[in-house]
Structure 1
C-alpha cells in the first residue's frame, strides 16, 4: 500500500503547476482517493474550464470559484462519473451558468460492496465529447481522448497549448487504477494504455496524486505490471483450479485489509479478460487454466 503523506495537505488552496493550470484539492481523502480529488482549472485569460469538479461539498465549490477569481467559468468537464469526480458539476453549473460536458452519462445499479466510489446519478451533460472532439476558450484548447477501462465512459483531456494531459483515474500519480467489472474492463484498460503510450504528452495531471513528469515511462511500466499480474494468475492456475479469494494472499502479500476488495476486483477483471481470450475457464465459483 502506498502511504498517504502526512497532513497538512493543501486542501482548498490554489496551486499552479504551470501557467495555464490551477489545481484545487477537494476535502475527500480516503484509501481510494489518496489525499482527495484534484480539480483543475484551465486558462489564464478571461475564462476557465474546470476539469473533474469533484464532490458536491460547499467548501470545495467555494474554493473552485475563489481560484477562478475574476475569470468566468465557461466549461465544466468530467473524466468519468464516479462520485468523487462529477457530483459538483451540477451545483457548479447552477452557480456559473457554464455547460457540463465531457464523458457520457453512466449509472450502474450496484447494491453490493464496491472497491471504489459508486456512480453519480446526478450527472447530466449538455454535451458529450467524442474521441478527438475539442472545447476551447481564451488561450486554451482541451481535446477529448477516449480511454475506457476504469469505467466504460472514461475520457482524458489534452491541453494542446502545453502538451499536458488530464488523466482522471486512468493513470494516477500514486497508485494503479481499480478495474471493477462489469463496467470496468481490463482489455479496454490495456488498449487505452497503449493508446496513451503512442502519444507524446509532456506531463500527466491525474485526479489523485502528483503530476507524472515522465508519462510514457510510467505507462510502459503500468502495462508491464498488468502483464506480470496476468502471468502470475496463469502460474497459480497451473497448480489447479482456484476461487477468486484464493488468489489474493498469494498475489498480494501484506495487503492492507481495506484494499482486499479492490485487489479481488482487479484479479476478477484479469480473469474475465483471459476468459474472453479463451485462456481460462470458469465453472461456478472456480477458475481453471485451459
Structure 2
C-alpha cells in the first residue's frame, strides 16, 4: 500500500487522459480513498457519460459542471454504491437531466450488527446494467463487466473504442481492495480478478483511486498472487496455533497505518470465510483453527 504523492493534488481540475477521457479528483482524501475519488467523463462534444460522480459535495459538483460545460450528459454511471462513489449521482441527475445507470442498488440484511455504514442507501438507478450490457453515446460505448467481490454489486466499465477499463474499487492504482463480509466475498473477488486477467484486449485501467494502470494484466496477475500469499500466511499461522482474526493483522500487515487495521482485519476475515467454505479451517466463536 503506497502513501499518497506530495501535494498539491489536482483536486477539482479536469485532466485530459486521452481524447475520450477526462478525470476530476474529488476533495475527499482519506486513508481509505488515497487522494480522493476520481470521477471520469467519457466522450466529448455531442454527449458524455460521467462515471462514479463521487461524494455529494458542492465543490465537486461545481468542478464536474465546469468540466462538462455545455455538453449533453447521456448517462451517470456508478461502479458501486459506497458513499465515496455514488451519492453525487442524484444531484448531478437533477442538474443535467441524465439517467443514472450501472450497478444495482445494494440492500443488506438489517438483522444483527449493521454492516452498511459505508453504503449509499439513497442510490436509485434508472437502469441496472447486466454483465456485457452497453451504454452508448456519440463515438463511445461503455460495456459493463460484472466484478463482484469488493462488494456484490460492483461493475467495471470497458470503453470498447480504446481498450480502457474503468475499474472502480475492484483494481486500484495504490492498494488492493478491502473485502468486507458479509457482502464482500473473497471467492467472488478472486473469480473477478481472474475474469479481468482473461481480457487480453484491455489496454489501460482507470481506477477510482490512484494513477492509471498501464500494464493491467501484469498488475492483476500480481494481485492474484498477493491474495494467494495472504491465504498461505493465514494457513501457516493457524498451523502453529488458533487465532482470532485481529491476531493476524500485526503479523501480516507490518507497518500498516493503524487507521487501516480494521480494514485489514475484515480482509483477513474474508479469507478465513473462504477457507472455511473450502474445508481448510474451522471456527469456534471468534477463534479459527486449521483442519
> Structure 2-normalised TM-score?
0.97
Secondary structure, counterpart of 1:50 in structure 2: strand
Structure 2 residue 206 is the aligned partner of structure 1 residue 218: no
- Aligned pairs for 1:82-231 (under 5 A) are 82-108=82-108, 109=110, 118-199=118-199, 200-231=201-232
Secondary structure, counterpart of 2:32 in structure 1: coil
The match for 1:29 is: 29
C-alpha spacing 1:110/1:267, structure 2 compared with 1 (3 Å): farther
In 1, Cα distance between equivalents of 2:205 and 2:62:
26
Show CA shifts across 1:54-101 (max 9, x none). 000111111111111221111000000000000000010001000001
Secondary structure, counterpart of 2:240 in structure 1: coil
Q: Is the 8 A contact 1:280 1:288 kept in 2?
A: yes
C-alpha spacing 1:110/1:88, structure 2 compared with 1 (3 Å): farther
The match for 1:18 is: 18
The match for 2:262 is: 261
- Gaps of at least 5 residues in structure 1 are none
Aligned length: 289
The match for 1:250 is: 251
Q: Is the 8 A contact 1:45 1:139 kept in 2?
A: no
In 2, Cα distance between equivalents of 1:198 and 1:2:
26
C-alpha spacing 1:111/1:55, structure 2 compared with 1 (3 Å): farther
> Structure 1-normalised TM-score?
0.97
Q: Is the 8 A contact 1:82 1:117 kept in 2?
A: no
Q: Is the 8 A contact 1:84 1:117 kept in 2?
A: no
In 2, Cα distance between equivalents of 1:249 and 1:38:
31
- TM-superposed CA distance for 1:8, in Å, is 1.0
In 1, Cα distance between equivalents of 2:278 and 2:52:
34
Q: Is the 8 A contact 1:107 1:119 kept in 2?
A: no
Secondary structure, counterpart of 1:210 in structure 2: coil
- Gaps of at least 5 residues in structure 2 are none
C-alpha spacing 1:37/1:117, structure 2 compared with 1 (3 Å): farther
In 1, Cα distance between equivalents of 2:136 and 2:259:
41
The match for 1:67 is: 67
